Structure 1
Amino acid sequence: MATDQFPESRPSQLGLAALFLKFLRFGALAFGGPVAQIAMIRQALVEEERWIDPARFNRLLAVLQVLPGPEAHELCVHLGMVARGRIGGLLAGLGFMLPGLVLMLLAGWLYTTWVADHAGLSGVLLGVQVAVLAIILRAVVRIGQHIVEDWLLAVIAAACLLATLAGVPFWIPLVAGGLVYAGSHRPMLAAITLAAAVAVAVAARLIAMPGADAAIETGAPVTLAALFVAGLKGGLLTFGGAYTAIPYVRADTVGRGWIGDATFLDGIALAGVLPAPLVIFATFVGYVAGGVGGALAITAGMFLPAFAFSLILFERLEAVVENPALHRILAGVAAAVVGIIAATFFQLGAATDARVPDTLLAVILFALALAAVWRLKGAWVTPAVVAGGAVAGWLLL
């Protein structure tokens, strides 16, 4: 793509190596989650270097927030395209994700070779897991505040929460949520869609053979293809924030018995303190389940949509997202995802409760961590809460 397709302003001409190194630096400093990451990129490339004007940046950010995928990473891919076309977008995206990828691979190696088998760290890990549950709950509420904008979206989210807890396959709530909200201006059509979704969900539960769930959970072998698909599913369904990838990655890894919920939560905790998009937790999950190959496969799946939407579809993205029908479908799907991730919070909470020696102490620790993440702001909050959970777990659990 030529830079003259972006007439509002142009970045200074950079060589490909310099472009890669610029975004590699952004990646190495990407602490504090997407808000802090986007603010850093805006300060450097919009306000200081004037790659694009602020109005263009705001429109771009609005488009990326509607689409699935980690928005800070997609923003880097797009700005790399502004500078040097599609090869620039590819290099910018790789540079931004590389520091977190390398650090998470190292963390996975340290975890599997030392931490996981160290019995004396069990209390520390339990404390971290309880703290992470508080972080997830706060994220669910924050995401819901941005997505659940009316009573129908709230009903969709609640229905998907209950459906997920009842074991309904994830795709049924997603499809139903999108179609019901898209057809909400036609009440009869919405009612028919909802009735059809309920019928499909009931049929899926009735048709399932006894014992099938156990076979799915424990019998499936670990394959690179399955890990890639697990990451791809998460990458395609990260509406409203990286935490929305959690239920899909968990279903395809914990659900198959490849790792446990405790290890899964440890991966989320590590991702929260590394300089990377939070979806890098998938790299840890892939490493524990399938070694370096598994880590790379699940990471490739997770980040593929973030590259593809910008690299392949950029010229059409804004026009497509302006389609009101698509807006309503995406809004319904996003509300369904809020319900699904809320259900995952309850499932992870139940799994953690089964392992803690003292439920009351765990509830107190959870309440304190939740109060901290609810009231405090700043890039330091998540690492501090995780560290506090580790210390409390070591002393109390």
Structure 2
Amino acid sequence: MTDPMDTTRPPPISLIGLFLKFLRFGALAFGGPVAQIAMVRQALVEEERWIAPARFNRLLAVLQVLPGPEAHELCVHLGMMARGRIGGLLAGLGFMLPGLALMMIAGWLYVGWIAGHVGLTGVLLGVQIVVLAVIARAVVRIGQHIIEDSLLAGIAVVALIATLMAVPFWIILLAGGLAYAAAERPFVAVLVLLAPILGAMIVQYFVGTTGAAGPIVTHAPATLAMLFIAGLKGGLLTFGGAYTAIPYVRADTVGRGWISDSAFLDGIALAGVLPAPLVIFATFVGYVAGGPLGALAVTAGMFLPAFAFSILFFERLEAVVANPTLHRLLTGVAAAVVGIIAATFAQLAMATAARVDNLLIAAALFALALVVAWRVKGAWVTPAILAGGAAAGWLISL
């Protein structure tokens, strides 16, 4: 809710000028959401005074509770403040277009020139190993912000186990949210939390199943509608950072046989070095699965919630998010997402290990990358880790 004493407003700006301003932000959006938000804060809060610092902080707090890439949602909302809903649309498009264009080019190069190239097999495998280290560090970082008590930790652990047992993600998220909303009734909370695992055990006992070391591959055709839904699911369920979209996009693409786990990891690696929200990895996945139109379909689904929340609903969001019961529900969902990402990391690690000839060398490379990701900070760290992984993979393959 806007402070009635806050008279700070964006200066007059044309629609073209607004689009170009956020296009520049997008072209310089290296280093992940923290660096991207800091760049926007420096320019529009401290230098041009579009919005008061206190209002900016409240805006960020709301966006961090909601799903979607918060840096992109921030740009949409600031554009809307300047020139209404059309301004929000142009600001969001400007911020995402540089990364989208670069990822489309990367997808084209990958499909046409890189994938299947025998001489690059070792390089790509080295990159995939260190990407696992980056994901592992992200799981811990996200968890540190979300897991604040023993019940939330329990929700994350149950979500991890339930995911590996092939329990549908929506059941896991619902159970996590309801369990934390019922925290004042411990027996009810535990019962709700364990229901997905108990249900999976009953199904396995009476029906039989092979378990879930990874997504169940169905080999359904990659239609544009299904690619759009895969992206939309990721966009709607991105709680706590872009890495939380990984399980849902993977389940709907790798799980349908449209793309391999190795190519999926390559997409995450590319997204880590481009100036864009990390969820742009979905564009690469869509390109590999369905060509240029598939890439655009996934991207449209992924970013649609980020546009919609600010453009259509933001006036009501602060009051809704302030509701304590809803806040606990969302916190429980976020904790379940941590467990789902951890399970997805385990599945990706197993799939990568199956392609490795020397597990000892691969484990050493993973451990070194994890130490660097854990101890070193800066926008250049992820690109440096990926470059190191590529170099190590090339040397090992010689």
Task: Give how far 1:218 is off.
Answer: 3.6
Distance in 2 separating the partners of 1:308 and 1:208: 41
**Counterparts of 2:289 and 2:176 in 1: how far apart (Å)?**
32
- 1:186 aligned partner: 185
Question: How far did residue 216 of structure 1 move?
Answer: 5.8
Tell me the TM-score normalised to structure 1 length: 0.95
In structure 2, how many angstroms separate the alpha carbons of the residues matched to 1:139 and 1:212?
Answer: 26
Distance 1:30 1:345, change over 3 A: same
Query: Match of 1:362?
Result: 362
Distance change >3 Å, CA 285–CA 377, structure 1 → 2: same
Q: Judging changes above 3 Å, is the alpha-carbon distance between structure 1 residues 15 and 263 closer, same or farther for their aligned structure 2 residues? A: same
Match for residue 72 of structure 1? Answer: 71
Structure 1 partner of 2:231: 231
Which position in structure 2 is the counterpart of 1:345? 345
Q: Deviations over 1:166-219 (max 9, x none)?
A: 111111111000000001112243244235444544455567686999996143
What's the CA shift for 1:304?
Answer: 0.7
Which amino acid in the other structure matches residue 231 of structure 1?
G
| Aligned length, in residue pairs | 395
State the distance in 1 between where 2:218 and 2:152 align: 35
2:165–2:200 contact (8 Å) kept in structure 1? no
1:310 counterpart residue number: 310
**1:219 aligned counterpart, secondary structure:** coil
In structure 2, the residue matched to 1:163 is 162
Indicate yes or no: 2:44 matched with 1:45: yes
Q: 1:110 to 1:207 in 2, by over 3 A?
A: farther
Provide closer, same or farther for how the CA distance between residues 215 and 152 of structure 1 changes in structure 2, counting only shifts above 3 A: closer
Answer yes or no: is the 8 Å Cα contact 1:130–1:362 preserved in 2: yes
- Measure the CA separation in 1 of the matches of 2:151 and 2:192: 14
Look up the equivalent residue of 2:13 and give its one-letter code.
Answer: L
What is the match of residue 266 of structure 1?
Answer: 266
Distance in 2, matches of 1:335 and 1:180, equals: 11
Contact 1:9 1:53 in 2 (8 A): yes
CA distance in 2, matches of 1:270, 1:172: 32
Amino acid at match of 2:309: F
Secondary structure class of the residue paired with 1:10: coil
- The superposition leaves residues 54-98 of structure 1 with CA deviations (integer Å, 9 ceiling, x where unpaired) of 000000001100111000000000000110011100000000000
Q: 1:45 to 1:264 in 2, by over 3 A?
A: same
> What amino acid maps onto 1:134 in structure 2?
A
1:107 aligns with 106
How far has the Cα of 1:307 moved from its partner?
Answer: 0.6
Once the two structures are superposed, the pairs formed by residues 19-38 of structure 1 within 5 Å of their partners are 19-38=18-37
For residue 355 of structure 1, what is the amino acid of its counterpart? Answer: R
Query: Structure 1: which amino acid aligns with 2:177?
Result: G
Report the Cα offset of residue 386 of structure 1: 0.2
Partner amino acid, structure 2, of 1:327: H
Residue aligning to 2:332: 332
2:131 maps to what in 1?
132
- Asked if 2 retains the 8 angstrom alpha-carbon contact of 1:128 and 1:389, the reply is yes
Structure 1 CA distance for aligned equivalents of residues 78 and 202 of structure 2: 47
1:8 shift after superposition: 3.1
| Cα shift readout 1:215-242 (whole Å, capped 9, x = no counterpart) | 9614311111111111111111111110
Q: Which segment drifts farther, 215-224 or 98-107?
A: 215-224
The answer on whether the counterparts of 1:231 and 1:298 sit within 8 Å (CA) in structure 2 is yes
* C-alpha separation in 2, matches of 1:187 and 1:133: 36
Could you tell me whether the CA contact under 8 Å between 1:172 and 1:201 is conserved in 2? no
Please state if 1:278 is matched with 2:295. Answer: no
2:228/2:300 contact within 8 Å kept? yes
What percent identity do the matched residue pairs reach? 74
The change in CA–CA distance for 1:75 and 1:130 in structure 2 (over 3 A counts) is same
**For residues 241 and 48 of structure 2, what CA distance do their matches in structure 1 show?**
28
Q: CA RMSD in A?
A: 2.1
Q: Any gaps of 5 or more consecutive residues in structure 1?
A: none
Normalised to the residue count of structure 2, the TM-score between the two structures is 0.95
- State the distance in 2 between where 1:172 and 1:308 align: 25
3-state SS, counterpart of residue 222 of structure 1: coil
Contact 1:168 1:205 in 2 (8 A): no
Listed one character per residue, the Cα deviations across residues 131-157 of structure 1 (whole Å, up to 9, x for unaligned) are 100000000000000000100000000
